[in-house]
Chains A and B, each alone.
Chain A
Amino acid sequence: ETGVTQTPRHLVMGMTNKKSLKCEQHLGHNAMYWYKQSAKKPLELMFVYSLEERVENNSVPSRFSPECPNSSHLFLHLHTLQPEDSALYLCASSLSRGLDEQYFGPGTRLTVT
């Protein structure tokens, strides 16, 4: 185990639903990340939080809304998603930035119907 947990592991939702993904890290790290992993595409960085402040937002549609209430928890709120949003959503954390490696959770497999 990497010390980063994600729930739920699998999620099926309709386009009109609202759901949230949860990530928790037990490593004492200061930075947390959301990535999207789609088939045959490189990992896409969605959001970065450092010490609970959002520091990067890579042109992600507003139907994805992140929340970082403290340095150990990260949420991704989902609403009115599209079928092309179906993917594996990965959470990661790192001690800081630059030189530090990231530790990934197991991911949430999201299917939008």
Chain B
Amino acid sequence: AQSVAQPEDQVNVAEGNPLTVKCTYSVSGNPYLFWYVQYPNRGLQFLLKYITGDNLVKGSYGFEAEFNKSQTSFHLKKPSALVSDSALYFCAVRYGAGSYQLTFGKGTKLSVIP
């Protein structure tokens, strides 16, 4: 079964420091990987996705993620955290271009401390 794991329930980082939110996926075919962010009382917003090609993917709000096939990981990163980045982050995986099924991780709460 397809799945993703977000090993950290919460990540705390000081404003201006680099941040990393971790995600690993189960190995089954060619994964399509996504990151979403959810602010309080809002729906999920798409940040970035990996389909194929360059392993480093750049997305919205200065975020990027690196697809690492050998480690089955797709960690989300940002060089300098902002207080406004504080939110809930979800990694998601889909297998197969014809699939509608998007499987989400449990989410990681990011807190950026001023």
Task: Report the contact-size class of chain A (Cβ under 8 Å from the partner).
Answer: 20 to 34
CB-based contact B100/A103 at 8 Å: no
Q: A2 is contacted by which of B34, B45, B96 (Cβ under 8 Å)?
A: B45
CB-based contact B100/A55 at 8 Å: yes
Task: Report the contact-size class of chain B (Cβ under 8 Å from the partner).
Answer: 20 to 34
CB-based contact B99/A97 at 8 Å: yes
CB-based contact B105/A42 at 8 Å: yes
Question: SS class of chain B's interface: helix, strand, loop or mixed?
Answer: loop
Contacts of A50 in B (CB 8 A): 100
CB-based contact B100/A56 at 8 Å: yes
CB-based contact B100/A107 at 8 Å: no
Binding site for B on A (CB under 8 A): 2, 4, 6, 31, 33, 40-43, 45, 48, 50, 55-56, 90, 92, 97-99, 101-107
The 7 closest A-B pairs by CB, nearest first: A104-B43, A98-B97, A43-B104, A104-B44, A101-B46, A48-B100, A97-B100
